[in-house]
A = this chain, B = another copy of it.
Amino acid sequence: MKRGRLDAPDTATSILDVAERLVQVRGFNGFSYANVAAELKITTAALHYHFAGKAELGEALIARYAARFAAALAGVESQSSDGLVRLHAYAGLYLDVLRERRMCLCGIMAAEYETLPDRMKDAIVRFFDDNETWLTRVLDQGREDGALRFTGPPSQTARTIVSCLEGAMLVARPYGDITRFETAASQLLSGLSSPSVKGARPRSEAKGVRRQRVPS
């Protein structure tokens, strides 16, 4: 996104890259313009040229993250029509983030929600809404297909999936142990697998889940 020839990233993109990582690791209230500027070896004044204030930078971060996530969801959908495979691929998106020792950008901001500017608040809720909308569709179709089994409205299960995956990331990070996330995700999704509910694989990767990489 926004590259000159030879793939040299422009300044605005570099700023977003650095700020994104800082937020995902330290939180929105845990980083400063000075941190970003130091890493890029520019001044904070230059930062203000590209992003008027921290609020604007935050909005841009969420917008880019949400767009990238949406693209990844489309990719997941295009790679398999099997509901369970899609759900595992969805969990894989979270896992890819966790592998870089990061929290979901919107998950960590959800923790700081009360301290955020209004426009960032709105954008975060929209992110979760979009995820749940996508999941709802996948769940609904998966149950129609007979690939998934669950009771109640798909939107409700969608919310549960988002909540559990965000929580699994949140708790896994202090332990520095991604297997914590993996087992929680497997256990969660195994409860949705179709044919056998009782014999559903509680651990192990299950199936041949082609994980989808979030485009950087």
Residues of A within 8 A of B (CB): 25-27, 29-30, 103, 107-108, 110-115, 121, 124-125, 128, 149-152, 156-157, 159-160, 162-175, 180-181, 183-184, 187-188, 191, 197-198, 200, 202-203
Contacts and interface: CB of A to CB of B under 8 A. Distances in A.
A115 B164 contact: no
26 contacts: A26-B112, A27-B29, A30-B114, A103-B111, A110-B171, A110-B173, A110-B174, A111-B112, A111-B170, A113-B174, A128-B175, A149-B198, A156-B187, A159-B171, A160-B168, A160-B183, A160-B187, A163-B170, A163-B171, A163-B172, A163-B180, A163-B184, A166-B170, A166-B171, A170-B170, A191-B191
Nearest to A167: B167
A128 B103 CA distance: 18
Nearest to A127: B174
Contacts of A174: 110, 113, 121, 124-125, 128
A199 to B, nearest CB: 8
Given A111-B112, A114-B26, A151-B202, A167 B163 contact: yes
Number of copies: 2
B159 A184 contact: yes
A86 B36 CA distance: 47
Nearest to A161: B184
Contact of A170 (B27, B110, B115): B110
Contacts of A26: 112, 114-115
Nearest to A121: B174
A128 B171 contact: yes
A108 to B, nearest CB: 5
Contacts of A25: 114
B163 A202 contact: no
B156 A183 contact: yes
A113 to B, nearest CB: 5
